[in-house]
């Protein structure tokens, strides 16, 4: 069963449903429901009830209905009795789950109290579409991480945890520190879709996270999880090649629709990111290493228009190819990509319909330069540590341990030393099973299947 657990901040028509209400009394907020959900799949309705007045509300009810149908009530909710502090949020889950047949729908959720005189903020109205035929959802989080605050989690820890989850694509913006010079377009993007303070997150290209992280707002994790429960009417594929000699990256983004999205403008874009970047970080120890640092937006900060029509044909594939010369400051071995399609509804908002993430494949070199018999990996099967030798090859390389479903389990920069082994301590957190060990060098890439045992 898919469950949607957290808040929504705005309500562009047929966009990701995101609602925050504000007033001087009892209200509800933080209801998360994807713009598209799976048809006939039960969804849990969870909101946060809040009392911002000095009057205690000992008994409230939270109700919902679908398309104006019968109300599903949850009563006797205490947001003002002993132990309930003014301005606190109380998470409320209605015991009745929602299932919607295929097609467009409207969900209405409201709070009711006997003494609340201001009803302007009591109701959330959320349009969404239920799909029978859909693609898996990858949630995009864009975060500014160059500064920090006393109430925030340790520097970048939360986004570092999120970026390894297959259903999440994380891009980190630096617009005001030493890392910002590599990506001038990042500052343009920040000015266009301004985030008021850092750390801040722009989730789904239109859902501005205008909240402070504190003891009652643990961060982006639950927001991302709620959005990942949704589905997408769009299947994305990303194919790339990277010429290590000319530093030219060529990327083709392909979009195939399972449902005809209508209205507004559909735009493509590809983000180029770099891992393992040393640089400044406020409130972090010296030698801090950044990951998923935004280095280029191949479709500019607006995205590429005109490739996808305003009403795409279901089953038709729309594609666009980008070329980009990677700046010399960016390490080719640590380049990562995010492809995305956004839906721009003008004044009604902007949302990311789907995203896809991948590495950048090296080409333009002799792919046979590293013969298979030059790579030695032992022991295989392994427990926690692998030793890697590429005979006769010295210098920096990138190693990646990739699960069979494409998840990157471990990635690091190493130094190869001829016939001496380079040891990879992968720790005990890697689950037993088969993996692909990929070694990327300027002379080529070579892979070997390895087996992790207990």
| Residue 201 to residue 208: CA distance in whole angstroms | 7
pLDDT band at residue 215 under the 50/70/90 scheme: very low
Residue 16, CA distances (Å) to 204, 261, 342 in order: 8, 13, 11
Tokens of 332: 């080719």
Q: How far apart are CA 240 and CA 403, in angstroms?
A: 20
CA distance 129 to 148: 38
The count of other CB atoms within 10 Å of the CB of residue 43 is 22
Is 276:413 a contact under the CB 8 Å cutoff?
Answer: yes
Identify each DSSP E strand in 67-226 by its residue range: 72-77, 89-93, 103-113, 123-131, 139-144, 168-173, 200-203, 207-208
> Comparing C-alpha atoms, which of 87, 198, 195 is closest to residue 147?
198
Q: Is the peptide bond before 11 cis (omega within 30 degrees of 0)?
A: no
Q: Which domains does the chain have, with CATH numbers?
A: 17-131 (2.60.40.10), 139-363 (2.60.40.10), 372-452 (2.60.40.3080)
For residue 186, the number of C-alpha atoms closer than 13 Å in the C-beta half-sphere is 24
CA 330 to chain centre: 22
**Percentage of residues of the chain with pLDDT beyond 70:** 72
- Strand duo 103-113 + 32-33: pairing: unpaired
Grade residue 268 by pLDDT with cuts at 50, 70 and 90.
very high
Cβ atoms 97, 33 nearer than 8 A? no
Structure tokens at 236: 């994305």
DSSP at 222: H
Lowest mean pLDDT among 170-174, 211-215, 400-404, 428-432: 211-215
Average pLDDT over residues 51-75: 81
CA–CA distance, 32 with 217 (Å, rounded to integer): 15
pLDDT value of position 375: 80
Structure tokens at 157: 């820890």
Contact 385, 424 (CB under 8 A): yes
pTM of the predicted model over 0.75: no
Q: What is the DSSP letter of 443?
A: T
pLDDT in tens, 153-201: 555 667 777 777 788 898 888 877 778 888 888 888 877 765 544 455 6
Task: Report d(CA 213, CA 322) in Å as an integer.
Answer: 37
- Express each pLDDT in 233-246 by its tens digit: 999 999 998 887 78
CA distance 40 to 399: 43
User: What is the residue-wise DSSP string for 4-27?
Assistant: B-S--B---TTS-EEB----SSEE
Residue 181 φ then ψ, to 5°? -70, -25
Retrieve residue 156's tokens.
Answer: 């970048």
């Amino acid at each position: 069963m898919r469950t949607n657990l957290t808040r929504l901040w705005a309500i562009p028509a047929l966009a990701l449903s995101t609602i925050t209400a504000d007033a001087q009394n009892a209200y509800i907020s933080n209801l998360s429901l994807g713009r598209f959900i799976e048809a006939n799949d039960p969804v849990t309705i969870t909101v946060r009830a809040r009392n911002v007045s000095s009057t205690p509300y000992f008994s409230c009810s939270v109700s919902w209905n679908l398309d104006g149908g019968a109300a599903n009530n949850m009563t006797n909710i205490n947001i003002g009795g002993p132990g309930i502090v003014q301005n606190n949020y109380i998470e409320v889950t209605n015991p009745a789950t929602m299932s919607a047949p295929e097609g467009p729908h409207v969900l209405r959720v409201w709070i009711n109290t006997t003494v609340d005189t201001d009803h302007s903020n009591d109701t959330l109205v959320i349009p969404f579409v239920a799909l029978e035929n859909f693609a898996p959802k990858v949630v995009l989080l864009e975060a500014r991480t160059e500064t920090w605050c006393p109430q925030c989690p340790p520097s970048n820890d939360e986004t570092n945890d999120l970026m390894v989850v297959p259903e999440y694509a994380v891009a980190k913006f630096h617009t005001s520190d030493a890392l910002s010079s590599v990506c001038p377009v990042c500052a343009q993007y920040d000015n266009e879709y301004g985030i008021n303070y850092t750390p801040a997150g722009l989730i789904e290209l239109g859902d501005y996270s205008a909240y402070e992280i504190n003891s009652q707002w643990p961060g982006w994790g639950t927001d991302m999880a709620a959005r990942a429960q949704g589905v997408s009417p769009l299947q994305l594929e990303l194919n790339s090649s990277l010429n290590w000699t000319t530093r030219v990256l060529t990327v083709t983004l392909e979009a195939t629709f399972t449902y005809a999205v209508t209205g507004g403008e559909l735009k493509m874009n590809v983000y180029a990111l770099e891992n393992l970047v040393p640089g400044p970080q406020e409130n972090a120890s010296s030698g801090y290493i950044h990951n998923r640092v935004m280095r280029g937006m191949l479709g500019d900060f607006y995205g590429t228009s005109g490739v996808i029509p305003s009403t795409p044909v279901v089953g038709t594939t729309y594609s666009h190819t980008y070329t980009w010369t990677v700046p010399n400051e960016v390490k080719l071995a640590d380049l990562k990509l995010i492809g995305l399609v956004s839906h721009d509804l003008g004044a009604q908002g902007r949302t990311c319909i789907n995203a896809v993430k991948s590495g950048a494949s090296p080409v333009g070199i002799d792919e046979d330069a590293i013969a298979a018999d030059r790579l030695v990996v032992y022991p295989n099967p392994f427990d926690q540590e692998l030793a890697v030798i590429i005979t006769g090859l010295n210098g920096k390389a990138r190693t990646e341990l990739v699960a069979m479903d494409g998840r990157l389990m471990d990635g690091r920069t190493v130094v190869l030393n001829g016939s001496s082994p380079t040891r990879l301590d992968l720790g005990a957190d890697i689950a037993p099973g088969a993996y692909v060990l990929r070694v990327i060098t300027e002379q080529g890439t070579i892979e070997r299947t390895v087996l992790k045992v207990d």
